[in-house]
Amino acid sequence: MAIAQTASRDDARKPLTRPANPRFSSGPCAKPPVFDVSKLADAALGRSHRAAIGKDKLKAAIEGTREILGIPADYRIGIVPASDTGAVEMALWSLLGARKVEMLAWESFGAGWVTDVVKQLKLDAEVKTADYGQIVDLASVDFDNDVVFTWNGTTSGVRVPNGDWIATDRQGLTICDATSAAFAMDLPWDKLDVTTFSWQKVLGGEAAHGMIVLSPRAVERLESYTPAWPLPKIFRMTKGGKLIEGIFKGETINTPSMLAVEDYLLALDWARSVGGLNGLIARADANAQAIFDFCDTHDWVANLAEDAATRSNTSVCLKFTDARIQDGAGFAKAVAKRLEAEGVALDIGAYRDAPAGLRIWCGGTVETSDVAALLPWLAWAYQAEIDAQSQAA
């Protein structure tokens, strides 16, 4: 049983050690520890992405993704425009409308997909939402419907605990935004028909490109159903009722950045060097656990995710629980500002639509020693702000 501790005068002293890398942003996330721009020298720059050299690299990015994430051989993997947003939009606009839709949302990105489906596609969807820190009733989901959800809610730090709640014999499709989960959490591919993520998240790659993973059932839907609305070229995965197979072999819809591709290949190599998916999950778990332990031993800070089973191991969101704090948003901003000014943590303020607090990225590119070094600074900044608030009163 953890012993709660209020801030002591020790916390008021500036710690001696700073994190070697203060990058704890939830996207773009820290580059892999081995990253150096000189390692991108082999990029196929100034060459056509349709030339053999470009196509080979794009194919290596797809097959490396399959290898590390353990994606089944009969699933298609495509590199698509516009990062994770592009991949999700492409799925929603291409697949929905064939049957009833159920939308699950418990933070801002999931809520954005609800808006798209209800207000833009104007579908009569069943919408289930929960407040920040909570999750919807997963047991109530009807898998006769197409179900759209976010595996890890990046802005609340709440994730689904696993895929057990998803029916294996479902009639509808599951469409999962897994951008802050892929490469940090186990994704049960047999339960996921469409999965999306971007390079800029867990592997610390560059923004701009998204990835879409399609199960055979998703492909079947694409080939048997044509939506009632027009589809822009960058969303189109079929031609004449057949899947454009080339997209899933590296023949991208439009021009990709070969520099970003090289960077992703480097990140995949690094992922292999730390033990692949299991190694990445262990790194994220260790990072998040360091923060969970800190919350257990300090009674002025708590995880925003209420149920421990739903606590993210990537985007760990924290709230201040000290009753003396008068202006929650102002306090959290001031703490983040102090930490940034000290060069110990960059970009850790809560997402703009989320409750006041902090969000500390714990994906595998972050070193556990850096998380451990940050935490005494968090205690210091908190105490400094409490003192500043009482002096101002």
Ligand X SMILES: Cc1ncc(COP(=O)(O)O)c(C=O)c1O
Residue 27 C-beta: closest distance to ligand X, Å: 4
Nearer to ligand X, 146 or 177 (CB): 177
Residue 150 C-beta: closest distance to ligand X, Å: 5
Nearer to ligand X, 128 or 338 (CB): 128
Nearer to ligand X, 85 or 195 (CB): 85
The amino acid at 9: R
What is the Cα–Cα distance from 222 to 245, expressed in whole angstroms? 12
Q: Is the dihedral of CA 17, 21, 27, 29 positive or negative?
A: negative
Nearer to ligand X, 207 or 384 (CB): 207
Q: List Cβ neighbours of 278 (8 Å cut-off, separation of 6 or more).
A: none
Residue 286 C-beta: closest distance to ligand X, Å: 22
CA distances from 248 to 60, 134, 212, 289 (A): 12, 36, 9, 37
Residue 198 C-beta: closest distance to ligand X, Å: 4
Cα Rg of the chain, angstroms: 22
Nearer to ligand X, 7 or 182 (CB): 182
Nearer to ligand X, 11 or 107 (CB): 107
Whose CA is closest to 183, among 170, 199, 194, 169? 199
Residue 287 C-beta: closest distance to ligand X, Å: 17
CB 347 within 8 A of CB 26: yes
Q: List Cβ neighbours of 55 (8 Å cut-off, separation of 6 or more).
A: 49, 249, 250, 251
The amino acid at 158: V
List of residues contacting ligand X (CB under 6 A): 27, 83-85, 109, 150, 154, 177, 179-180, 198, 200, 207
Whose CA is closest to 373, among 360, 386, 363? 360
Residue 281 C-beta: closest distance to ligand X, Å: 18
CB 252 within 8 A of CB 43: no
Q: Is the dihedral of CA 286, 295, 342, 333 positive or negative?
A: positive
Nearer to ligand X, 55 or 201 (CB): 201
Residue 30 C-beta: closest distance to ligand X, Å: 14
Nearer to ligand X, 96 or 105 (CB): 105
Residue 127 C-beta: closest distance to ligand X, Å: 17
What is the Cα–Cα distance from 56 to 49, expressed in whole angstroms? 9
What is the Cα–Cα distance from 40 to 36, expressed in whole angstroms? 8
